Amino acid sequence: MSFWKRLFGGGGSAAEETAGEPVEYKGFTIRPTPFTEGGQYQTCGVISKEVGGEVKEHRLIRADRFASKEDAVETTLRKARQVIDEQGDRIFS
């Protein structure tokens, strides 16, 4: 499945498969959800937080690709922490 189909929900299942345990960071939850593209794992994850009684989510996708799922998960967590540090709750705007 192409990157654009996954990004905009075309084709395949709408469910995302979390790779490993979700990680809590500064009140946010990071769920790594790397997917395979071209035989490699693409950096992808979901950052969520409860705001005003509602769970808000931000999908994080980067162009980085790796041979192993573990490397993609590690990079997803690192990039998500960076986004949280830089933008905080603004990622939901």
Tell me how many domains the chain contains: 1
- Hey, what amino acid is at 35? F
Residues in the chain: 93
Q: Model confidence over 49-90: pLDDT tens digits?
A: 999 999 999 999 999 999 999 999 999 999 999 999 999 999
Q: Using an 8 Å Cβ cutoff, are 33 and 45 in contact?
A: yes
Q: What is the mean pLDDT of residues 7-18?
A: 52
Residue 30: is its pLDDT beyond 90?
yes
* Structural domain span for residue 63: 18-92
Tell whether 1 is covered by a domain.
no
Q: State the pLDDT at residue 19.
A: 84
The predicted model scores a pTM of 0.80
Q: Using an 8 Å Cβ cutoff, are 32 and 77 in contact?
A: yes
Tell whether 13 is covered by a domain.
no
Write the CATH number for 84: 3.30.160.350
- Hey, what amino acid is at 33? T
